[in-house]
Structure 1
Amino acid sequence: MIFQLSSDLRDYLYDVFVAKFDLWVLFGLVAQIVFAMRFVVQWIASERAGRSVMPVAFWFISLLGGGLTLVYGLVRREPIIIIGQVLAVFIYVRNLMLIYRPRRG
């Protein structure tokens, strides 16, 4: 039983990470890494400030990573990624608009 489970797991991992690997999977992995870096940027900024802060770079990295992930979802025809990222990209753009909107007195 354990031997079979181990074999099934090995076959699954091979199928997901080796057999299906192509340039779009590599693109998707890069998109995820970029997207994840926004949390590193936010964490570093918060540590430096000694409190929780949301730097502008967080929103730019979110937009880049979310946009790349959206492209991946569109090319791979992944409806869950497409739906999630369309809304997210809108939110990132809107936050940047609010940050850079001229202040009215």
Structure 2
Amino acid sequence: MTKSEGAILVLGFTGQALFFMRFLVQWLYSEKHRRSMIPVAFWYFSLGGSSLLLVYAIIRKDLVFIVGQSTGFSIYLRNLYLISRERKEKQAHAEKNQ
């Protein structure tokens, strides 16, 4: 195995680890609250894992993997945008009612 092949594998496994962390974080968060919930960290781990896996797929020239990860990447960004917008609206509403 060459040095660059090893680096590519590290990239891929790091992306997989981040992707796994989203499930772990979601499970622990839901257990803590005793109901199914998705914390914001889930979306950040999704975005991080998807980013690294997308780079990995591009390096490997795997079109199926590229399409799958780029679609997910867009969805994760959109969810983080919606969460941010909702927080700003809540904060503006709270400041208005003070």
TM-score w.r.t. structure 2 length? 0.81
- 1:43 corresponds to which of 27, 36, 57: 27
Distance 1:100 1:27 in 2: 29
* 4+ long deviations beyond 3 Å: none
Q: Give a deviation string over 1:33-90, Cα, whole Å, max 9, x none.
A: 1111100000000000000000000000100000010011111111111000111000
Q: Which has the higher contact order (CA 8 A, sep 6+)?
A: 2
Farther-moved stretch of structure 1 (73-82 vs 44-53): 73-82
Q: Give the share of equivalent positions with the same residue, in percent.
A: 43
Structure 2: stretches of 5+ with no match in the other structure: 94-98
Structure 1: stretches of 5+ with no match in the other structure: 1-17
Q: Which residue does 1:72 correspond to in 2? A: 56
Distance 2:30 2:13 in 1: 26
TM-score w.r.t. structure 1 length? 0.76
Q: Which residue does 1:56 correspond to in 2? A: 40
Larger radius of gyration: 1
Q: Which residue does 2:89 correspond to in 1? A: 103
Distance 1:86 1:27 in 2: 16
